[in-house]
Chains A and B, each alone.
Chain A
Amino acid sequence: MNAPVLPASPLPASLVENPRLDRWIKFQPDRTVRIATGKVEMGQGIVTAIGQIAAEELDVPLDNVAVLSGDTTHGPDELYTTSSLSVDVSGGSVRLVCAEIRAKALDRAALRLNCSRDELTVVDGRFLQNGAVTGQDYWTVATEIDFTQNVTGTTPTKPVSSYKVVGQSIARVDLPAKMSGAAFVHDVLPADVLHARTLRQPNRGAVLASLDEAAIRRAAKGELQIVREANFVAFVSPVESVAQAAAVAAPQHAKWDNVRRLVPEQQEAAWLKGQPSDDRHIGAPPPAAPLQNLVQATFSRPYIAHASMAPSCALAEFRDGHLTVHSHGQGMHPLRQNLAAALGLPIDSITCQHLHGAGCYGHNGADDAALDAALIALRVPGRCIRLQWRREEEFGFEPVGPAMLVTLHVALDAKGRPADWTTEIWSPTHVQRPGSGTGFLLASEAMANPPPEVAPFDPTEQRGGGGTRNSVPIYDVPAHRIVHHLVMRPPVRTSALRGLGALPNVYAIESLIDDLAARVGEDPVAYRLSILSEARSRRLVELVAERAGWASRGPAGTGKGLGIGFARYKNRAAYAAVVAAVTVRETVKVDRIWCVADAGLVVNPDGARNQLEGGIVQAVSWTLKEQVRLDDQGIASRDWESYPILRFSEIPDMQVEFVDAAGNPALGVGECTVGPTAAAIGNAVNHALGVRIHDMPLTRDRIMAALLKV
């Protein structure tokens, strides 16, 4: 552990794509070092964590590190901020870049001081020679370093055992502003700003037959510009409430042709089965002979909203042929490319800069709002356009997390252990991020020539899969396979929601594991340990059981339940074991959650715990309460009354901890708790009632129906 860490090869993808040192690091005249990252802050603390990594590797004070995030002019292209990869990929890149710069800077200083590099140390960014002040530091030698060179990634990084900044619970750098005033893209209001709202095309292919502009102007009661292009309509005014009033009034004054009609069954996961699908078979070949001792069970979760606290917002200004966009989207370089494609502009004429937004938990309306703002800006040049989605617009038109139906077909051996395992999945795609191949910025569908529809696809297994994410059990199963039915035409636009398929898959797998344990009359924890050989996994299951007092778990069917859920996110990121204690009467109350996680090296323990806690609370909310409702025209749950989420009075007590695993590489933590939490609740409800509820959310109606079956 004391030896310097030789970098793993190959280079992180971000360094392969952005090899030049000056894309990552710059020493600035005010004695700060600017570290650029393509990953963006969404409340997960990445800007703080990246700063810690740079401060550590360079040995400069954290206060002297300025993190530039999501900037298409100066920063690296790291695609989207997703999949719990930022600390690993961007942090890993920053670490290698900083190690290399540190070595180069010390080489230069040694030349200047005519000494051996071994005589030099770095303290607070200053170079000491045998402990004595030299007057040299990063900033004095920076001009002699060629930052246009490519990073080699061959400079050893610091040993983990010497870390002083990484591994500390540093307070988030961005939180103070958010608690005292302006802090978000929503809060930027240039003096001559124009406020904008949209009228949304009800669905792709709908045609705006007529729009009573006069009636809308009467409702708006103020200076109003109506921007129209094909089936895209926006209302622009120097007075925000005027634009808002126009948008509120607009639907009743718009007539659309070719409006798609939905039926109520389409809001349920069960509808997915039998729909046209692209089918894939992954893993072991189909069983040669009919399976003996076969157990089958089907689980589901419905469409889920991201339900960001802030409806999406963007600023755009088109001036002197250049478009500048400020957005809270998850990737500024992809947004720039997508805007260029949608607007038909050369990419060099667009700049995108990230500004903070509310938590998004996946692909919400952020990117779409940016195109809305840009479309208006091109037609109202020279003015800053502030485009704000309305609450009902965010709920009604953001892409939602896909509904999923998961059937497990498991053949048992003589001891009741899984011998052959098939996870069969029906799901719409989990990723329609613009530019990923299948998705488009929403308003581009309203243009006269919308981009041609492309058959949806899911992230590859190499990237962790979409609907198939976490569908392979982590347990010792001799043969397992996935049958994936990618449903081609879901009733709503679907895309990435925190964890993708992990939550429904882990819910299904962990529910069935409990049921299999019950078949052989074994305790669920003991049963798991009997088929779980990997050491890191065993340690967590044992530890969470100990923390939760599992040994004194009461009998089933009392209305009080204790249940466990375990998974390793993507089977390759962080591990999380969760125990839930619930009380079930007519509804489920989650009383307490214990969570033990293994994320390898944790850069900021308190920040990472905050992520575990947030994932737990969100998963409790999804599992107990949430379902996007449809009516004949689309998403019907368009406010917080019709889409309730967990409240303060429903929040469980929580005890979360990381096991010490700092000798292992950092593993992303943002999504690791969602599947295990849902599964633990399902199993706890099963323990409380003595009956399994297969379909999420675990609502009062489902509880009552399950009890009637007992």
Chain B
Amino acid sequence: MDVAFTVNGEARRVDAAETTSLLEALRNHLGLMGTRYGCGLEQCGCCMVLVDDQPAYACTRELGTVIGRKVTTVEGLGTEAKPHPLQQAFLDEQAGQCGYCLSGILISAKALLDRNPDPSRADIVAALDKHLCRCGAHQRILRAVERAAETLRNGRPA
């Protein structure tokens, strides 16, 4: 079964069953390894992606449900050479330790800032509360999202 959808702005096709998880399609078929397996149960957030700009758990999301839709992974935010302001803010704050949870958190932060460019600390906490981080980088992550929000606001034409 050939499943067509848009990934990080590009039209892609995956030859896999519609019941294949989006996580497996992204990683094993499209080589996008930034979306990570943590639990497969929608409990940790390591696999968070955007589907039509809404955060979605890729681990349980079936490929068949994204046909014709727009999927964004952490690779779609930016690269090491050209990081997205969120990625840059996370680096500036050194907001992470092992880093395994970060790509999912970056995705949820992106969704938050897209809908609310000036979030309060409480807004950020609420947006990220479904994500787990075992290393304890939470405070740095919250500061990084605030920093990125400010950068993005300042960078936008008034």
- Which A residues form the contact surface with B (CB < 8 A)? 42-45, 169, 171-172, 174-184, 186-187, 189, 240-241, 307-311, 356-359, 361, 388, 390-391, 606-607, 610-611, 613-618, 621, 639-641, 645-649, 651, 653-654
Contacts and interface: CB of A to CB of B under 8 A. Distances in A.
B139 A651 contact: yes
A310 B20 contact: no
Interface in B113-158: 125-126, 128-129, 131-142
Given A43-B98, A614-B136, A648-B125, A179 B106 contact: yes
19 contacts: A43-B96, A44-B97, A171-B94, A174-B99, A175-B91, A175-B94, A176-B80, A179-B74, A179-B106, A180-B34, A187-B27, A240-B28, A309-B134, A310-B36, A310-B100, A388-B37, A639-B43, A640-B44, A649-B126
A307 B106 CA distance: 21
A48 B90 CA distance: 17
Contacts of B18: none
Given A617-B138, A648-B131, A359 B97 contact: yes
B46 to A, nearest CB: 6
B98 to A, nearest CB: 3
Contacts of B97: 43-45, 359, 610-611, 614
A184 to B, nearest CB: 7
B38 interface: yes
B72 interface: no
A391 B103 contact: no
Interface of B: 20-21, 24, 27-28, 31-34, 36-41, 43-44, 46, 74-75, 77-80, 83, 87, 90-91, 94, 96-103, 106, 125-126, 128-129, 131-142
A639 B37 CA distance: 14
Nearest to A395: B39
Contacts of B135: 43, 359, 614, 617-618
A383 to B, nearest CB: 16
Chain B contact residues: helix, strand, loop or mixed: loop
B134 A179 contact: no
A597 to B, nearest CB: 15
Contact of B46 (A307, A310, A357): A310
Given A179-B87, A189-B27, A310-B46, A640 B39 contact: yes
Contacts of A648: 125, 128-129, 131, 133, 138, 141-142
B78 A180 contact: yes
A613 B136 contact: yes
Contacts of B74: 179-181
A186 B27 CA distance: 10
Contacts of B132: 309, 640, 645, 647
In the A-B complex, the 7 residue pairs with the closest CB atoms: A617-B136, A43-B98, A178-B99, A358-B100, A43-B97, A187-B33, A182-B33
B93 to A, nearest CB: 9
Contacts of B140: 610, 613
A648 B102 CA distance: 13
A45 B140 CA distance: 15
B149 to A, nearest CB: 16
A41 B20 CA distance: 33
Nearest to A386: B28
Contacts of B44: 309, 640
B83 A307 contact: no
Nearest to B79: A180
Contacts of A639: 39, 41, 43
Contacts of A182: 33-34
Nearest to A643: B43
A42 B91 contact: no
A169 B129 CA distance: 29
A310 B36 CA distance: 8
Given A176-B80, A309-B132, A614-B135, A391 B102 contact: no
Contacts of A308: 100, 134
A180 B39 contact: no
A307 B132 CA distance: 11
A647 B129 contact: yes
Given A178-B98, A187-B36, A639-B39, 8 more contacts: A180-B34, A240-B28, A311-B38, A358-B98, A613-B139, A615-B136, A649-B126, A651-B138
Contact of B33 (A181, A311, A388, A390): A181
B94 A610 contact: yes
A479 to B, nearest CB: 38
Given A175-B96, A610-B140, A649-B125, A240 B24 contact: yes
Nearest to A391: B39
B137 A241 contact: no
Nearest to A673: B136
Given A181-B74, A359-B135, A616-B136, A309 B38 contact: yes
Given A179-B74, A240-B28, A390 B40 contact: yes
A130 to B, nearest CB: 40
Contacts of B75: 180-181
Contacts of B125: 648-649
Contact of A179 (B24, B31, B46, B102): B102
Contacts of B137: 610, 613-614
A618 B135 CA distance: 7
Contact of B100 (A359, A607, A617): A359
A610 B135 CA distance: 9
Given A186-B36, A241-B20, A647-B129, A178 B100 contact: yes
A39 B98 CA distance: 15
A708 B142 CA distance: 38
B99 A175 contact: yes
B141 to A, nearest CB: 8
A653 to B, nearest CB: 7
Contact of A309 (B31, B94, B133): B133
B128 to A, nearest CB: 5
Residue from the set A169, A187, A309 with the largest chain B CB neighbour count within 10 Å: A309
Contacts of A176: 80, 83, 87, 91
